[in-house]
Each structure stands twice: as structure tokens, then as C-alpha cells.
Structure 1
């Protein structure tokens, strides 16, 4: 459930043409915008006034846009293009039939897994729009956070740690596949040695102390 105060409700549908005609999209991406997106609605506008927040924030407004899709497997670059060209901070509720996912752009596009609409949870947490935006990053970009002992880390440090973990997991999968296929004993041994090192590093990142994020 998306729990935003009623004072933030907008519910204004935006014509697709208003987006793709003014966005610097390539022809293929513009075609995907037309073919993948059914409609776009500004669901909520979060400001310091309608949330009764303090003034100490760089962010002036956060918008929640719902995007109804024609197909579940869409090009994320469409959403990324909207976010990068908009002066406001944007949170996206992507909808396909009875499934939903949340997304936001913060240096790159982050998305939660697809889930039933009743399972979607998003709450504005904080005393300024900056804090609320950070809470949205935590709820979306760090939805499946694997690392432990992150209480003393900033959101940016936690994102960097998550990135390290994901890269190591890919390296482990790639090395396991290579070791399985390798026929020469010496090369296979070297691959398994490297694999053990990767797995040790992964365990340290997941279960080590917060200082590991700075390594």
C-alpha cells in the first residue's frame, strides 16, 4: 500500500505526447515509448507545504507518477529518460495488469521486483523532503539489501556496498561456469582458487562490519 496523505493527491493524467515529443529520445526509444506505455498519471505531489515539513531541504517537490504499461517486459530507458529530464524528483509506480513495481532514478534506475498491487509498500518517512527522498531510495533501491551491519552507513555507502555484492555474485557465477567447463587440471584448480577468494570476499561484504563498505 502506498500511504501518502490525501493532501498530496493530484490524479492528473498526462498525454504521452507531452513526454516523448520533448524528450531527447532516439527513434527506437521513442517507438518503444509509444508501444510500451498505455498512460501516465501524476498521482501525488509531495511538497513541504502539503506535508507540513521544515524548510531545510534542497528538494522542492517529489512526484509519484503511475505508468500503465502495455507489456511487462518494457525498456527501462523510457522511465530513465523521463526521470533525467524532469526537474523534480520522481517515484514511478509501474503497472501491468495486476502486477506493480516501484522505480526511481538515482544515478541509475532502481526497480523493485514485480509484485501483487496489494504487496506494494511505500511510506514517506522524514522531516524534510530530502529525508523523505532518502527513505524512498531505501525502500526501492535497497529493497533487497543483502548486507548486514549497515546501521552506521549512509544511503550512498549502502548503495555502493550493494553494488559490490552484486558484482561479486556475477563474478562467482561466471567463474563457476568457467571452472565447470575447464578440462585442464591446472587451469581448473586456478579457477576454483579464484572462486574461493570471491566467495570469501562476498561473505565479508555481506556479514562483515560496516567498515567493509569503505574498503
Structure 2
């Protein structure tokens, strides 16, 4: 079942016209959008503002949308365009009568998680769909959503995480070089007192590199806020749901 915290509920109907008017739809995709999609509801907003959760390195917000269909079919290109223009990581629940499936389109460009990737469940009774929050930060929550959709663990990556990883690798290289330098000095040093000093420096350096290797980011403290109360007109809706479009206007 779809089991998300009450504090994350938004339940706002999105005007269909907003999507095909402001998004870069071709005439053929516009006809598909009108013909296949009956309505779109912004169901949930999962973020630091709506529940107690630690921030992720790659994921800062997750939006859940329910899309009602006119028939039991949806063109994946429609979801890819919606996903591209939505600033948040998005999960789509599509419904036709009592049937449903959960879909997620990739946002990243690292490893196997690419922009043109679309993960989805099979069609099943809507009440049998599974989507629940598991994890201590938003990265873990999103990865577990992907696992609930695909049945497989799919790691996420982005430029920020790649940068952090690169910086850590460079720091480790410098620390290792410093250890080799101390070891070389010990081999050439003849004064016993100086050798003792270098031995102590070597011990400290090895302890520091070991600690740095296993170090993890300390989670940021979050809090329990009140449920979101959104009063949206059309332009505010566009700004919240499609910030990339607003920037183009």
C-alpha cells in the first residue's frame, strides 16, 4: 500500500493546461498528453520541512504525483518531459480505474542512473502498490523507493557526491604521501632522539588516515514541522512544481 506520513500530504490538483502550455511539448506530445492523461495531483512532498529526516547529498526533496489516465497506457516520453522540468526528484503513481503502477525517471548522469532511464512496476491493483519511507536520510529514502519499484538496489550519484568523493581521494593521496615522506626520513635519520620523534609523527599520521578513511558525514538535525498549508494560484503552482519553466518565462 501507499504508506507515507500525513505530514507530507499536499493533495493539490494540478491544472493540465499548465503542463502542456508551459512545457516544451511538440504538437504530437500535446495530443498524447490531452488524450492519455485525465488529471495530475501533487500528493506528497518529502523533505526536511515536512518530516523528521536527515538531508541527502544527492536528494534534497522528493515529490510524489498521482496521474489519472484515460486508458491503461502512458507514453514514457510524457513522464520524461515532466521529470526533466520538475526540480525535485519525482515519483509518479499512475492510475486507470482500479489499476495502478509506480514509475520513476532518472535525473542523474552517473553510472547506470541516467536521464533517459525509466523504472516502473508492473500493472497491479492500486491497493497492492507498495511505497513507504525507509532510511535515515533522503538519499536512502529515494534509493529504497527505487528498490520498491524495481526489486533491485540502484545507487544514486550526482556531481556533488562525485566532487566530495574526488576531494576525499585527493586528501587521502596527500596523507599517504606524507606518511611515505616520514618513513623515508626515518630510514635516513641517524640521531636516536630524532628517530623517536619521527616514529611518533608516523604513528599519528597513520591514525589520522585511518580515521579519515572511515569518516562519515554527520547528519544535520531536523525537526517535526506542521503540515504544509499551500494556497496556490497558477503562477505559484508553476513556480513550485516547474521552477525550470519559470526561469524560462
Equivalent pairs, count: 147
Question: Equivalents in 1 of 2:55, 2:138: separation in Å?
Answer: 9
Q: Is 1:59 aligned with 2:59?
A: yes
Give, in angstroms, the shift of residue 27 of structure 1: 1.1
Q: Tell me if structure 2 keeps the 8 A contact 1:48–1:128.
A: no
Aligned to 2:38: 38
Question: Equivalents in 2 of 1:56, 1:112: separation in Å?
Answer: 25
Question: Equivalents in 2 of 1:49, 1:129: separation in Å?
Answer: 12
Task: Find 2:127's aligned residue among 118, 141, 158.
Answer: 118
Aligned to 1:189: none
* Uncovered stretches (5+) of structure 1, i.e. residues with no partner: 146-153, 158-215
Give, in angstroms, the shift of residue 56 of structure 1: 4.5
Question: Equivalents in 1 of 2:97, 2:19: separation in Å?
Answer: 23
- Report runs of 4+ in structure 1 exceeding 6 Å deviation: none
Aligned to 2:50: 50
Question: Equivalents in 2 of 1:47, 1:114: separation in Å?
Answer: 28
Q: Quick check: which has more Rg, 1 or 2? A: 2
Alignment of 1:167-182 (within 5 A): none
Give, in angstroms, the shift of residue 89 of structure 1: 0.6
Q: CA 1:31 to 1:51, structure 2 compared with 1: closer, same or farther past 3 Å?
A: same
Per-residue deviation, residues 106-151 of structure 1 (Å, max 9, x unmatched): 22111110000121111111111111111111111x23x5xxxxxx
Give, in angstroms, the shift of residue 91 of structure 1: 0.3
Question: Equivalents in 2 of 1:56, 1:156: separation in Å?
Answer: 13
Question: Equivalents in 2 of 1:118, 1:16: separation in Å?
Answer: 25
Per-residue deviation, residues 33-65 of structure 1 (Å, max 9, x unmatched): 011100000010000232211235332211110
- TM-score, length basis structure 1: 0.65
Structure of greater relative contact order (alpha carbons < 8 Å, 6+ residues apart): 2
Question: Equivalents in 2 of 1:131, 1:75: separation in Å?
Answer: 29
